[in-house]
C-alpha cells in the first residue's frame, strides 16, 4: 500500500470527481447513456399510468355501472403493458450494453497501464495486489454494471415517479406515506451501516477460510508427513467458526431490518386506509383514487429497499474505481525518450556498462561504479555470491531499470535512447525458470514472432534438439502447456524458453542460469541447446556453475556490488583469492 499512495486524490468521499474521471474513459458512451435514461423514463411513466387507468375504470365504470368503460379501461391497460414491456426490456438491455462495453474498455485501459509500468513497480508491488486490481476490483464494478446499474436507474425513477404520482393524486394521503417512508429511510441507513460492517467482516473472513483451506489442500503431503492433521483441522475449525460468527452478525442485522420494513408497510397501508376512508365518506375522495393509491403504495417500498441494496454495490464500485485510478496514476519511469531511435542494422552487439551505480531503494545502493565492456560475439560470465548484485546487472542490461549513475550502451547507443522495439529485437533475457504462457507449444516458441511459419518453428526446435520430444507428444506443436507449463518438467520448460529465444534471433542474450538441478539427462540436452543458442551471439551469463565460468570467454567477478576481478577463468584462478574460493565450492559440488 505504501507504494500505491501516490494518488490519494481519488477517495470514495469525492464521488463526483471519481465519476467524472470514470466517464472520461469512455466518452463515446455518453449519448447511448442519455438514450437509455430516456427509454427507462418512458417505461416508468407508462407503468405509473396503470393505476390511473384502474381509477378511471372504477370511478367511471364500476361506480357508474358502465360495463363498456370497464372493458375499455382493461384494453387500455393491456396496451400500456405491451408498451411497458418493450420499453423496460430495451432499458434493461441497453443499460447492460453500456455497462459491459465500459468494462471491456476499462479492463483494456488498466491492463495497458500495467504493461507500461516498469520493473521497479513490479518488484515493489505484491503480485497478488496487482492481479486483484484487474480481477476482484473490476469484478465488483462488473457486479454493479450487470445488477446494480439497471436496478439503480429503474428503481430511482420508480421511486421519484411514484412519489410524484402520490402527491398528484392526493397530497394528504401522500403526506402520511412520506412520513412512514422517512422512517423507512432512517431505518435503512442504520441497517446499511450495520450490514456493511458485517459484510466487510464476512468478506474478510471468507478470505481467511479459503486461504486456510487452500493451504490445507496444497500442503496436505507435509501435513501428513508430520502428522499435523489434527492441528490443521483445529486451526481450520477456528477460522471457519469465525466466519460463521460474522455471518450470524449479518443475519442479526437482516433479522430486524426486514421485519421492521414489513411492519412499516402495513402501517403505511393502515394510514392510507384511515385517511382515505374518512375522505371517501365525507365525499372529498373517490373510491377509485383510494384503490389507485393502494396500488402505488406497493410500488414504493420494494424500490426503496432495492435502492438501499444498490447503494452497497455502488460503494464498493466506487472504492474499486478509486483503487484503479491509483494504479493508473503510477508514474511510468522507464519509457522511450523523445527522439529515441532504432539501432542501425546489422547490430554488432557490443554491450558497455560505464560507471554504473544503482539502487532499488534510495540509500541502499546495490551496484557501485561498475564498468564492463562486452565485445560483439563475446561470452562473459558474471559470477559472485548470492546478493552480490550480479542479477541486478542482468536487469539493467535489459533496461528493466535505469542506472542511478552511469550509462549502459549497445553498439555505442545509450539504452535510454533506444526504442523499446529495437531493444527487444536486440536483447533477449532467459530467466532462471523456463516461464511458459498458457497456450500451445507453438505459441510459446513463436512468442516473439506470432506469424513465424511452421517451418521456422521446426527449424528452431531441431536446432534446440527438441523436435523429437515435440513429435512424441500426442498433439505435437499444438500441445496445450497449461498454466505455467505444469505439464512439463523443469528441463522441458527451460528448453522451450531457449527455443523461444532462438527464434527471436537476438544479437545479445542475457542468461540468468538456473540454480536448481535438472536431472542429468535433461541437463545434457539443455547444455547442448545453449551451446547452439549462444554461438555467434554476444552473451552475458549470470553463472552459478563452474562449467559456465570455464566456458566463458571472460569472467567478471562481482562482490558486494563492485567488480573485483575480470579476466579468463584461468587468469582469475591465479589472480583472485575470492574466485578461487568460489571455484573450490563449485568443484566439491561436481566431483
Partner 1 sequence: MSERQSRLGDLNVGIALLWRVLVRYRRIAAVSIGGALIWMSMVVWVPYLVGRVIDAVVSGSGMSNVWPLLGLIIVAGAIQAIGISLRRYYGFKVSYRAEADLRNEIFTHIQRMAFSFHDVTSTGELMARASSDLSQLRLILAMAPITLANLVMFFVVTVVLVIIDPVLGLTAALMVPALLLTSGRFASRVVGFSFDLQQRLSELSHVVEETVSGIEVVKSYGQQAQQQKRLDDKAETIYDAAMGMAKQRAIYRPLFEIIPALGTVAVLLIGGIRVVDGAMTFGEFVSFTQYLATMVLPLMITGWFFANLPRSAAAASRIDALLATAPEISEPRRPEHLKPGQGEVRFNSVSFAYPDGASVLKDVNLVIPGGTSVGLVGATGSGKSTIAHLIPRFYDVVQGSITIDGVDVRELRLDELRSEVAVVFQESYLFSASIEENIRVGDPMASDDRVRSAARLAKAHEFICEFADGYATVVGERGSTLSGGQRQRVSLARGVVRDPRVLILDDATSSVDAIVEAEIQEALKQVMAGRTTVIIAHRTSTLALVDNVVFIEDGRVVAFGSHDELLETVPRYSEVLAADMGAIA
DSSP element (H, E) containing 558: strand 554-559
**How many angstroms separate the CA atoms of 21 and 318, rounded?**
11
Give 355 or 536: the residue with its C-beta nearer to partner 1: 536
Strand order in the sheet with 351-361: 364-374, 351-361, 405-410, 413-414
**With respect to partner 1, which residue has the nearer C-beta, 370 or 510?**
510
- Footprint of partner 1 on residues 175-214 (CB under 8 A)? 209-211, 213-214
**Binders of partner 1 in range 57-86 (CB under 8 A):** 57-58, 61-62, 65-67, 70-71, 73-74, 77-78, 81, 84-85
| Binding status of residue 263 toward partner 1 by CB under 8 A | yes
Q: In this chain, which stretch among 6-14, 161-169, 250-258, 313-321 interacts with partner 1, using CB under 8 A? A: 250-258
131 interacts with partner 1 by CB under 8 A: yes
For position 218 contacting partner 1 by CB under 8 A, the verdict is yes
Burial string for 292-311 (b: 16+ CB within 10 Å, else e) reads bbbebbebbbebbbbbbbbe
We find the least distance from the C-beta atom of residue 13 to partner 1, in angstroms, to be: 29
Of the residues 38, 97, 473, 560, which one makes contact with partner 1 according to CB under 8 A = 97
Residue 473 lies near partner 1 (rule: CB under 8 A): no
Nearer to partner 1, 371 or 535 (CB): 535
Question: Nearest distance from residue 232's CB to partner 1, in Å?
Answer: 6
Counting DSSP H helices and E strands in the chain, the numbers are 21, 10
Which DSSP state fits 145? I
Least Å distance between CB 12 and partner 1?
Answer: 24
In angstroms, the CA 225 to CA 137 distance is 39
- Check if the beta carbon of residue 52 is closer than 8 Å to that of residue 73: no
247 binds partner 1 (CB under 8 A): yes
Closer residue to partner 1 in complex, CB, 71/168: 71
Count of residues that bind partner 1 according to CB under 8 A: 161
Among the listed residues 533, 510, 495, 359, the one whose alpha carbon sits nearest the alpha carbon of residue 423: 510
To partner 1, the closest distance from the beta carbon of 17 in angstroms equals: 26
Q: Which of 8, 20, 186, 274 binds partner 1 (CB under 8 A)?
A: 274
**Cα gap 400→482, rounded to integer Å:** 27
Could you tell me if residue 510 is left (phi over 0), alpha (psi between -120 and 50 degrees) or otherwise beta? beta
The answer to the question of residue 427 lying near partner 1 (CB under 8 A) is yes
Euclidean distance between CA atoms 49 and 79, whole angstroms:
11
Could you say which residues in the range 388-407 bind partner 1, by CB under 8 A?
398, 400
Strands 508-512 and 538-542: parallel
Q: Is 565 in the site for partner 1 (CB under 8 A)?
A: no
- Per-residue H/E/C for 232-246: HHHHHHHHHHHHHHH
Q: Positive or negative, the Cα torsion across 157, 162, 167, 172?
A: negative
Residues 6+ apart with CB under 8 A from 258: none
Residue 227: CB minimum distance to partner 1, A? 4
Task: Tell which one of 191, 300, 325, 586 touches partner 1 (CB under 8 A).
Answer: 586
Q: Per CB under 8 A, which region of 16-24, 191-199, 248-256, 335-343 contacts partner 1?
A: 248-256
Least Å distance, CB 157 to partner 1, is 13
Q: Which is nearer to partner 1, 21 or 208 (CB)?
A: 208
CB 377 within 8 A of CB 370: no
Coil, strand or helix: which one is 408?
Answer: strand
Nearer to partner 1 by C-beta: 12 or 45? 45
Judged by CB under 8 A, the chain residues 488 through 547 that form the site for partner 1 are 489, 497, 500, 504, 515-517, 519-524, 527-528, 544-547
Instruction: Tell me: does residue 11 bind partner 1 (CB under 8 A).
Output: no
| Minimal distance, residue 217 CB to partner 1, in Å | 5
How many other C-beta atoms are found inside a 10 Å radius of the C-beta of residue 494?
26
One character per residue 346-385, x = contact with partner 1 (rule: CB under 8 A): ---------------------------------------x
Distance CA 353, CA 374 (A): 9
Distant-in-sequence, close-in-space partners of 249: CB < 8 Å, separation ≥ 6: 198, 201, 202
Amino acid at each position: 500500500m505504501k507504494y500505491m499512495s501516490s494518488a490519494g486524490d481519488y477517495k470514495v468521499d469525492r464521488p463526483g470527481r471519481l465519476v467524472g474521471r470514470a466517464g472520461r474513459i469512455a466518452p463515446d458512451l455518453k449519448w447511448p447513456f442519455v438514450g437509455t435514461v430516456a427509454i427507462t423514463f418512458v417505461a416508468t411513466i407508462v407503468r405509473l399510468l396503470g393505476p390511473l387507468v384502474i381509477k378511471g375504470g372504477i370511478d367511471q365504470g364500476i361506480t357508474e355501472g358502465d360495463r363498456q368503460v370497464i372493458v375499455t379501461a382493461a384494453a387500455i391497460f393491456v396496451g400500456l403493458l405491451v408498451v411497458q414491456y418493450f420499453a423496460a426490456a430495451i432499458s434493461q438491455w441497453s443499460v447492460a450494453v453500456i455497462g459491459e462495453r465500459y468494462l471491456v474498455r476499462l479492463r483494456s485501459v488498466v491492463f495497458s497501464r500495467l504493461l507500461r509500468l516498469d520493473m521497479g513497480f513490479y518488484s515493489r508491488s505484491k503480485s497478488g495486489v496487482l492481479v486483484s486490481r484487474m480481477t476482484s476490483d473490476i469484478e465488483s464494478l462488473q457486479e454493479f454494471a450487470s445488477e446494480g446499474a439497471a436496478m439503480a436507474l429503474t428503481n430511482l425513477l420508480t421511486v421519484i415517479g411514484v412519489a410524484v404520482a402520490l402527491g398528484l393524486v392526493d397530497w394528504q394521503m401522500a403526506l402520511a406515506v412520506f412520513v412512514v417512508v422517512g422512517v423507512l429511510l432512517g431505518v435503512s441507513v442504520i441497517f446499511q451501516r450495520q450490514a456493511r460492517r458485517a459484510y466487510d467482516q464476512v468478506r474478510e473472513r471468507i478470505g481467511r477460510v479459503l486461504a486456510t483451506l487452500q493451504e490445507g489442500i496444497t500442503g496436505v503431503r507435509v501435513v501428513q508427513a508430520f502428522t499435523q492433521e489434527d492441528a490443521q483441522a483445529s486451526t481450520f475449525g477456528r477460522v471457519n467458526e469465525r466466519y460463521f460468527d460474522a455471518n450470524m452478525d449479518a443475519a442479526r442485522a437482516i433479522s430486524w431490518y426486514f421485519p421492521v420494513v414489513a411492519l412499516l408497510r402495513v402501517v403505511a397501508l393502515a394510514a392510507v386506509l384511515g385517511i382515505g376512508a374518512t375522505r371517501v365518506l365525507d365525499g372529498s375522495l373517490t373510491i377509485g383514487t383510494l384503490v389507485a393509491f393502494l396500488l402505488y403504495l406497493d410500488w414504493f417500498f420494494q424500490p426503496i429497499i432495492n435502492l438501499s441494496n444498490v447503494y452497497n454495490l455502488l460503494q464498493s464500485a466506487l472504492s474499486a474505481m478509486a483503487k484503479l485510478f491509483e494504479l493508473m496514476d503510477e508514474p511510468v519511469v522507464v519509457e522511450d525518450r523523445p527522439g529515441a531511435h532504432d539501432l542501425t542494422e546489422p547490430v554488432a552487439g557490443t554491450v558497455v556498462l560505464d560507471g554504473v551505480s544503482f539502487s532499488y531503494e534510495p540509500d541502499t545502493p546495490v551496484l557501485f561504479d561498475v564498468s564492463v565492456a562486452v565485445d560483439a560475439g563475446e561470452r562473459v560470465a558474471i559470477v559472485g555470491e548470492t546478493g552480490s548484485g550480479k542479477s541486478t546487472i542482468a536487469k539493467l542490461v535489459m533496461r528493466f531499470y535505469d542506472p542511478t549513475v552511469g550509462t549502459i550502451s549497445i553498439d555505442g547507443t545509450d539504452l535510454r535512447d533506444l526504442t523499446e522495439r529495437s531493444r527487444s529485437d536486440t536483447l533477449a533475457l532467459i530467466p532462471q525458470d523456463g516461464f511458459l504462457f498458457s497456450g500451445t507449444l507453438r505459441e510459446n516458441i513463436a512468442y516473439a514472432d506470432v506469424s513465424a511459419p511452421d517451418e521456422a518453428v521446426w527449424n528452431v526446435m531441431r536446432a534446440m534438439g527438441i523436435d523429437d520430444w515435440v513429435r512424441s507428444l500426442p498433439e505435437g506443436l499444438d500441445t496445450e502447456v497449461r498454466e505455467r507449463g505444469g505439464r512439463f518438467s523443469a528441463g522441458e520448460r527451460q528448453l522451450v524458453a531457449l527455443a523461444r529465444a532462438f527464434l527471436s534471433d537476438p544479437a545479445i542474450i542475457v542468461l540468468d542460469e538456473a540454480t536448481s538441478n535438472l536431472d542429468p539427462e535433461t541437463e545434457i540436452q539443455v547444455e547442448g541447446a545453449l551451446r547452439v543458442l549462444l554461438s555467434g551471439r554476444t552473451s552475458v551469463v549470470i553463472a552459478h556453475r563452474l562449467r559456465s565460468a570455464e566456458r566463458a570467454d571472460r569472467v567478471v567477478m562481482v562482490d558486494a556490488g563492485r567488480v573485483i576481478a575480470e579476466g579468463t577463468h584461468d587468469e582469475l584462478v591465479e589472480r583472485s583469492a575470492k574466485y578461487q574460493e568460489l571455484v573450490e565450492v563449485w568443484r566439491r559440488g561436481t566431483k
